[in-house]
Amino acid sequence: MGDQNSAVEQQFRPDELMTELDIKKQAYYDYLKHLGIKAEKDSKGKAYLTQAQAKSVRLLRAHVVAGGKIEDFDIHEALETALTVADSTELSDVSEPPVEVKVDATQAVDMQSLYREASNIYAQHLTADRQLLMTMLNEMSYETMHPEARAKVDKIRETALPKFNPQAMVREFLSQQLQTA
């Protein structure tokens, strides 16, 4: 399944992330549900999040701590904001002398990990409409339905359920009783 020579993907355990973010289990699972994240399992069956998933949970937590609501959080906007802030921070540090960073060419980029991270983010992007649809379905009632859909329901109910007529029912019953007597 995995190449022994490939770099090990960083794993974030639920307990560690809950401690780091100072949240309880219910909030943690609410965050995962909102983000559409399903935790991965390691070879021992223990749950963990990937680096991208943990980053998404951290961004949602930061949104909530800042006074936002979970349902108002949009991962795509949060990622764009985080990138903008990172870019502006880099621009503001122009006056400082550049720090030389030695790059070791022998350290290969973990393409498999990047591919997984990109796939997870893209999957969330692709399923965002579906997540909104399912949330809307859960919140919807007959009164909040679109008028055209409500008219269809009314027509089907009218056709499927005969009109209740107590006088006709009583007459029918009494006539059957007279015939059996």
Neighbouring CB atoms inside 10 A of 29's CB total: 15
Residue 82 lies in a domain: yes
Q: Which domain CATH number covers 40?
A: 1.10.1660.10
Residue 63 lies in a domain: yes
Segment 100-157, tens digit of pLDDT: 555 555 556 778 888 888 998 888 888 888 888 888 888 999 999 999 999 998 888 8
DSSP 36: T
Residue 100 lies in a domain: no
Q: How far apart are CA 107 and CA 168, in angstroms?
A: 87
Residue 123 lies in a domain: no
Segment 90-106, tens digit of pLDDT: 544 445 555 555 555 55
Residue with tokens 């965050």: 31
**Residue ranges making up the domain that contains 159:** 141-181
Residue 97 lies in a domain: no
Residue 104 lies in a domain: no
pLDDT at 4: 47
User: In this structure, are residues 49 and 40 in contact, taking their beta carbons and an 8 Å threshold?
Assistant: yes
Which residues are 48's β-sheet partners? 40
- How many residues comprise the chain? 181
